[in-house]
Amino acid sequence: MDTIVVLDFGSQYNQLIVRKIREAQVYAVLYPHDVSFDTLMHMENLKGIVLSGGPKSVYAADAYTIDPRILEGPWPILGICYGMQLMAHLSGGVVHKAAKQEFGEATITIKHDRLFKDTPTTQTVWMSHGDEVIELSSEYEVLAFHDTMATLAIKHTQKPWYGVQFHPEVKHSTYGAQLLKNFALDIACAKPTWNTQHAIQSAIEQVIQTVGEGRVVLGLSGGVDSSVAAMLLHRAIGSRLTCLFVDHGLLRAEEATQVMETFEGQFGLTVRRLDVKERFLDALKGVYDPEEKRKIIGRLFVEVFKEAALELGGVDFLAQGTLYTDIIESGTKTAHTIKSHHNVGGLPEALPFKLIEPLSTLFKDEVRALGLALGLPHEMLNRQPFPGPGLAIRLMGEVTQARLNTVQQADAILRGVFAKEGLNEEVWQYFTVLLDTKSVGVQGDQRVYEEVMAIRAVSSTDGMTADFSRIPWEILAHVSRRITNEVRGVSRVVYDITSKPPGTIEWE
Ligand code: XMP
């Protein structure tokens, strides 16, 4: 398959470059900036190289660079921001601290060239840089400029090498996606063959090749990643896949049943439901501290999974639904933003199996598309995030079966009303939280002293920051009425109007 390699110089946008090129149906992959020339030469169907942006200055003593032989390779090159400055610098040009740093949108004027095919003469781009190219070697000509900067895009006069100072991968660059497409299809001449069917086929082939006649075990949670991984593995190796579903009793109402019905009932996968509710409740008895709850659940989860996996016998591989984002974010040496993943369990180290990660080249939206093509329902693939420790961290204080039932019922009411009102697609995440305090109320003519339930609903893009959702009063009133009427022991409902920061999305 034709491939574009993006060399990573540490830009926060480097994943976006890969994604945008894939959106043009060309397979793209991120490599560290110091990948060797030989590695690239041995790649089949490498059609072009993109040098990403990055936070350093090309003239700094500790600047990142590339194996110089890469510039002698047969491939077209596109440098973005730092990448362009590096190209200019390596050819004898001069890069300096800019008189005026530029962050945000800018309007530029371009000269028509195949890099800018199907884009207008003046266009909006996204700038984010502190340096600029102030002198260009005669090997290059200028392709774009604006009123304060003369060199905003460059082109080599002899070779298919281009550079842009702005960030075409960011959506504020109005024609950025077109530019990356032009590079991939017209300049690098890659064939646009990367699509969902292709991704499924190549993932299946990879699994068959790796697993051979072996057997695989997978932890199925009902979340998007493990669900799609399960479907894919099942397609590839059928009954040699066993899914283990840890039913710890901390899921939302009906969720465990749905997982079993979908995977075992509808699709015929081998799923073992490990009914360990009592074990979790026992371990959580008398525990009030949120961090302690999380730790106990994480540890027990691994323990239960490990026991069951070993008991199966004859297992060779442990499959995980790791995504490309997880790999990039925890793995590249140049990446500056490293997200801490708080997934339950550290399964690979705990088990004597080889690891297989069939989704590890894919982004979340690609995984969703794959899931859809493999027959999984839309609702399952577009589920809102659900924390590994489940409802245990949505009830403050001790976890008991009675309190789990209370929060499950309230949550089911909230979800039902939001779905009916069409808010389920609109609001990023919503749930109820049972507080660890009681309040006075009046029911009939009686004074009561009962539980308080909070409603949390937020808008966000990645969970790192969030704003509370402005839900219409009438809808909140309806949810409140239903919860206080239908959920035994709850006589007060409050709405959480805190954003993140300073709050977090979950309460514990
Ligand atoms: P906070 O509460 O930190 O949550 O603002 C941010 C996002 O992460 C989810 N979350 C978790 N996800 N395991 C997970 O897989 C966890 O332990 C966990 N804790 C929080 C949370 O639901 C929100 O979407």
Tens digit of each residue's pLDDT (9 = 90 or more) over 137-170: 999 999 999 988 889 999 999 999 999 999 999 9
Determine the Cα–Cα distance for residues 416 and 424; give it in Å rounded to an integer: 9
User: How far apart (Å, rounded) are the C-alpha atoms in residues 361 and 490?
Assistant: 47
Please give the average per-residue pLDDT across 33-47, as a whole number: 95
Question: Which is the catalytic residue, given 146, 167, 234, 248?
Answer: 167
Assess whether 240 and 347 both reside in one domain: yes
Phi, psi of 457, rounded to the nearest 5 degrees: -145, 125
8 Å CB contact between 21 and 47: no
Q: Rounded to whole angstroms, how far apart are CA atoms 314 and 384?
A: 35
Quick one: angle between helices 364-373 and 224-237, nearest 10? 50
In the chain, the percentage of residues whose pLDDT exceeds 70 is 96
167 is catalytic: yes
CA of residue 395 to ligand 1 center, whole Å: 14
Say whether pLDDT at 378 is over 90: yes
> Does 366 qualify as catalytic in the annotation?
no
Three-class SS state of 36: coil
Let me know whether 134 and 237 are in one domain. no
Residues 6+ apart with CB under 8 A from 405: none
What is the structure's pLDDT at 173? 96
In this structure, how many other beta carbons lie within 10 angstroms of the beta carbon of residue 467? Answer: 13
Residue 415 in any domain: the answer is yes
Give 398-408 pLDDT, tens digit per residue.
Answer: 999 999 999 99
pLDDT in tens, 211-220: 999 999 999 9
> Of ligand 1's atoms, which has the minimum distance to the CA of residue 386?
22
Same domain, 93 and 155: yes
278 plus 255 within the same structural domain: yes
Residue with the nearest Cα to atom 9 of ligand 1? 387
- Does the residue 358 lie in any domain? yes
Last residue of a domain, one of 353, 381, 409: 381
Q: Which of 100-104, 325-329, 335-339, 432-436 has the lowest mean pLDDT?
A: 335-339
Indicate whether 97 and 226 sit together in one domain.
no
Distance 463 CA to ligand 1 centre (A): 7
Using 50, 70 and 90 to split pLDDT, how confident is the model at 330?
low
Asked if 151 and 135 touch (Cβ cutoff 8 Å), the reply is: no
Q: Is residue 505 part of a domain?
A: no
* Nearest protein Cα to ligand 1, atom 6: 463
At 59-70, the pLDDT tens digits run: 999 999 999 999
Residue 349 has pLDDT above 80, yes or no: no
Residue 333 has pLDDT above 70, yes or no: no
Given pLDDT bands bounded at 50, 70 and 90, which one contains residue 331? low
Residue 85 within any structural domain of the chain: yes
pLDDT digits (tens, 9 = 90+) for 181-217: 999 999 999 999 999 999 999 999 999 999 999 999 9
Residues 239 and 318 in one domain: yes
507 occurs within a structural domain: no
Atom of ligand 1 nearest to the CA of 507: 2
CATH (domain of 101):
3.40.50.880
Question: Per the residue annotation, which of 132, 169, 451, 508 is the catalytic one?
Answer: 169
pLDDT per residue over 243-274, tens digit each?
999 999 999 999 999 999 999 999 999 999 99
What confidence score (pLDDT) does residue 350 get? 76
- Residue 389 forms part of a structural domain: no
Q: Are 32 and 7 within 8 A, CB to CB?
A: yes
**Are 377 and 334 in the same domain?**
yes
**Percent over 90 (pLDDT), the chain:** 88
Residue 444's pLDDT band, with cuts at 50, 70 and 90, is confident
Q: How many structural domains comprise the chain?
A: 3
Give this prediction's pTM: 0.87
Residues 285 and 406 in one domain: no
Q: Is the pLDDT of residue 335 over 50?
A: no
pLDDT over 60 (residue 332):
no
Pocket test for ligand 1, best of 468, 506, 507, 508 (most atoms within 8 A of CB): 506
pLDDT of residue 337: 38
**What backbone phi and psi angles, to 5 degrees, belong to 166?**
-90, 180
pLDDT value at residue 339: 36
Report the alpha-carbon distance of residue 2 to residue 194 in Å, rounded: 9
Q: Is 500 in the pocket of ligand 1 (CB under 6 A)?
A: yes
Ligand 1 neighbour 504 (Cβ under 6 A): yes
Task: Give the range of the structural domain holding residue 130, as residue numbers without chain letter.
Answer: 3-187
DSSP 314: S
* Catalytic pick among 81, 102, 357, 451: 81
Mean pLDDT, residues 7-21 = 92
The better pLDDT of the pair 474, 379 is held by: 474
The pair of structure tokens assigned to 299 is 């540890």
Is 81 a residue of the active site?
Answer: yes
End position of a domain, from candidates 318, 352, 381: 381
Are 363 and 258 in a shared domain?
A: yes
Residues 417 and 345 both lie in one domain: no
- Tell which of 166, 187, 208 closes a domain: 187
| Same domain for 342 and 237 | yes
How would residue 342 be classed by pLDDT, with cut points 50, 70 and 90?
A: very low
Backbone torsions φ then ψ of 247, nearest 5 degrees: -90, 90
In this prediction, residues 77-101 reach a mean pLDDT of 94
In one letter, which amino acid is 365? D
Indicate whether 506 belongs to any domain: no
Does residue 59 belong to any structural domain of this protein? Answer: yes
Residue 341 has pLDDT above 80, yes or no: no
Mean pLDDT for all residues in the chain: 93
Verify that 360 and 305 share a domain, yes or no. yes
Placement of tokens 């004027």 in the chain: 109
Q: Is the pLDDT of residue 411 over 90?
A: yes
Nearest to 289 by CA among 446, 12, 498, 508: 508
Give me the CATH number covering residue 442: 3.30.300.10
Residue closest via CA to ligand 1's atom 16 equals: 387
- What is the predicted pLDDT for the residue at 470? 98
